[in-house]
Amino acid sequence: MSTPTTTAGHAAAPAWKEWVLTTDHKRIGVLYLVGSMAAFGVAGLMALIIRYEQMELGMQFIESGTEYNGYLYFHGAAMILAFLIPGLTGFAANYFLPLMIGARDVAFPRINAFSVWLFFFAIILALLSFIVPDAPDIMWTGYPPYAVTTAANTSLYVFTVHLLGFSSILGAVNFLVTVIYMRAPGMGWNQLNVFVWTTVAAFVIQLVFIPVLAAAVTLLLFDKYLGTHFYDPSAGGDVLLYQNLFWFYSHPAVYVIFLPAVGILFDIMATMAKNRVFNYKVAIYAGIWGIVGIAGIVWVHHLYIAGMPDWIRLGHMVTTLLISVPVGLLTISLWGTLYKGAITYNTAMMYAASCLYLILLGGLTGIPLAIPSMTLHLSETSYVHAHFHFIMALFSAFALFAGIYYWFPKMTGRFADGGMATFSFWANFVGVNLTFWPLFIIGKEGMPRRYWDYEMFKDVQVMGYSFEDYHLIATIGAFIIAIGMITQTINFIYSAFKGKPAPTNPWNSRSLEWTHTASPPGPGNFGGTDVVVDENWSPYEYNTK
């Protein structure tokens, strides 16, 4: 992905120094991309081990339950905290948000560089889990008392969360100031790309909710290493305090991932369909901001089986079901953007189209989980596992991949489309369905999450097949995804250097990152002249008749 850009006019610093010490938002974006894809690779390898282990009854690959729990911990924590969030709000926002609003950089470039440094330190800290003998085994949720009483190293988890939290808060302040003060002259709020809006919403969520997570994990650290008793009922603490604090952040965190993914989809679909965004204002103010408004009052649906008072569980059932209203409005706008469009197909659009399927499947399977009486059984089963993979992991990852194909010509001056791209798309798409559909089916019959074995279910048949059969299909699916992801990565690296050269605006987009910059954009983004837009300008105005 790394594209050497020449720094014309003066003696160039060594290339590594230019990258490591950069304050250019585009290079920082690429650093985020490289870091998050590396985290994705390692966490994906963990997923393969997890799937392989469950393929048959008994122990295949692992030698102890603790070893398996370590893989699970790393997979969950790294995918969410080091791949999805930095991939979307780090890479995509950094590289493209300033270009989309006509800014020459972000408001505080050095703080931006510090954010990406913190991110890399966090990744190094997380990778230490593989070296220390007492690797964390507390799942990405880190519930006490287990996280306190375990012999494993909980501090690695806490400090990783701290570093990423600081990184995200600094990023949030930086980008909010950038969007508020550095938009091109003439650019009103209703002329912003949907991706800009979703990123703003994601950063507002980060700014409001991260401190709560930081508090939760810090108290965990104190309980484990300083002997405090915040979560210890034998000394007046409460085990549920942590879960409430944790999910008060971590449910909104789902939207930190989901919203920028939706934003990328809108931009790709409007561009490829050469159509205006359907019902733009409703999508922004009711859809995106509706989600932000409701994000902080639904967290108890993660505690439906945690013995919370009945009235809270029922109250949060209603608020959780009502998430369907803003999300429904966003889907109608997505669908409507295709209506009467002129759709061109390429790898980015294929990923975008598959996201429509993923958002339907992942979103609708969440509805049973919004209802506490359903969740009394479904909670902690592989049904939940399949649901959140479809809506959070796969939908957002596919949207991110769509974005990478879409913006690849902008970042490198070359296309990443081609036979390998098409092959890897289909491998990924077929693979995710093979992997996660079986988990819905056995999850409904009680297959628990976070189990490496399922001995007690050995005589249970679902539609004539055993749990082992379903796990086998899921494991085959996971390895097909691995093939897809490996070929895709090879394709990205190859295309960055040898791909087919692309014109400056290959998709004929109206958005500023395509119309006003070179590919890749040089320092300062827009050359000698500042970008100015008039009141009729819109990134989605294709049909000017």
Residues 6 or more apart whose Cβ sits within 8 Å of residue 215 = 245
Select from 2-10, 245-253, 444-452, 495-503 the region that touches another protein (CB under 8 A). Answer: 444-452
Q: Which of 55, 111, 297, 338 binds another protein (CB under 8 A)?
A: 338
Pair of tokens at residue 217: 């994990």
The yes or no reply on residue 139 touching another protein (CB under 8 A) is yes
Whole-number minimum distance, CB 260 to another protein, in Å?
A: 21
**Among residues 22, 275, 396, 519, which is the contact residue for another protein, using CB under 8 A?**
275
| 456 binds another protein per the rule CB under 8 A | yes
Residue 469 near another protein by CB under 8 A: no
Pairwise CA distance, residues 157 & 115, whole Å:
19
Dihedral sign (CA 458, 460, 466, 468)? negative
Least distance in angstroms from the C-beta of 435 to another protein: 20
Shortest distance, CB of residue 508 to another protein, whole angstroms? 8
For another protein, the binding residues in 372-411 under the rule CB under 8 A are 372-374, 376-377, 379-381
The reply to whether 137 sits near another protein by the rule CB under 8 A is: yes
Shortest gap between Cβ of 35 and another protein (angstroms)? 28
Tokens of 531: 């970008």
**Residues linked to residue 462 through DSSP beta bridges, in sequence order:** 465
Map residues 147-166 to x or -, x wherever contact with another protein holds by CB under 8 A.
--xx----------------
Among 2, 324, 422, 489, binds another protein (CB under 8 A): 324
DSSP conformation letters of 387-405: HHIIIIIIHHHHHHHHHHH
In whole angstroms, the minimum distance from the beta carbon of 406 to another protein comes to: 16
Residue 461 interacting with another protein (CB under 8 A): no
Tell me whether residue 451 or residue 526 sits nearer to another protein (CB atom). Answer: 451
Taking CB under 8 A as the binding criterion, the range among 35-43, 256-264, 410-418, 441-449 that sits at the site for another protein is 441-449
CB nearer another protein, residue 234 or residue 529: 234
Sign of CA dihedral 298, 302, 305, 306: negative
Answer yes or no whether residue 345 interacts with another protein by CB under 8 A.
yes
User: Candidates 123-131, 207-215, 420-428, 439-447 — which segment interacts with another protein by CB under 8 A?
Assistant: 439-447
**61 lies in the binding site for another protein (CB under 8 A):** no
- Minimum gap (Å) between residue 210 Cβ and another protein: 24
Smallest gap, in angstroms, from Cβ of residue 1 to another protein?
28
Contact between 490 and another protein (CB under 8 A)? no
- List the one residue from 2, 279, 466, 505 that touches another protein (CB under 8 A): 279
Please tell me whether residue 360 binds another protein under the rule CB under 8 A.
Answer: yes
DSSP 426-475: HHHHHHHHHHHHHHHHHHHTTPBTT-S--GGGTT-EETTEEHHHHHHHHH
3-class SS at 517? coil
Q: Which residues contact 488 (CB under 8 A, 6 or more apart)?
A: 401, 420, 421, 424, 425, 428
525 binds another protein (CB under 8 A): no
CB of 419 to another protein, least distance (A): 21
- Member of 173, 332, 472, 476 binding another protein (CB under 8 A): 332
Q: List, as one string, the DSSP characters of 472-509.
A: HHHHHHHHHHHHHHHHHHHHHHHHHHHSPB--SSTT--
**What residues between 301 and 320 interact with another protein by CB under 8 A?**
305-307, 310, 313-314, 317-318
Question: Are the C-beta atoms of 382 and 448 separated by less than 8 Å?
Answer: yes
Q: Which residues, other chains included, contact 363 with Cβ-Cβ below 8 Å and sequence gap of 6+?
A: 324, 327, 331, 391
Q: Could you tell me if 481 and 435 are in contact, meaning their C-beta atoms sit under 8 angstroms apart?
A: yes
Of all helices (H) and strands (E), which one includes residue 542? none
Q: Which one among 239, 476, 486, 496 touches another protein, defined by CB under 8 A?
A: 239
**Nearest distance, CB of residue 380 and another protein, angstroms:** 4
24 membership: H or E segment, kind and range: none
If one asks whether residue 470 binds another protein (CB under 8 A), the answer comes out as no
Interaction between residue 367 and another protein (CB under 8 A): yes
On whether the CB atoms of residues 420 and 491 are closer than 8 A, the answer is yes
> 414 - beta bridge partners?
501
Of 167, 2, 7, 151, which Cα lies nearest the Cα of 70? 151
Length of the chain measured in residues: 545
Dihedrals φ, ψ of 462, to 5°? -120, 120
Q: Which is nearer to another protein, 60 or 149 (CB)?
A: 149
Which residues within the stretch 79-118 sit at the binding site for another protein (CB under 8 A)? none
20, 208, 215, 371: residue in contact with another protein (rule CB under 8 A) = 371
**What's the rounded Cα separation, in Å, for the pair 449 and 368?**
17
Question: Site for another protein (CB under 8 A): which residue of 238, 426, 476, 483?
Answer: 238
By CB under 8 A, residue 353 contacts another protein: yes
Given a contact cutoff of 8 angstroms between Cβ atoms, the answer to whether 117 and 212 are in contact is no
Using CB under 8 A as the binding rule, whether residue 217 contacts another protein is answered as no
Q: Read off φ and ψ for residue 519, nearest 5 degrees.
A: -120, 110
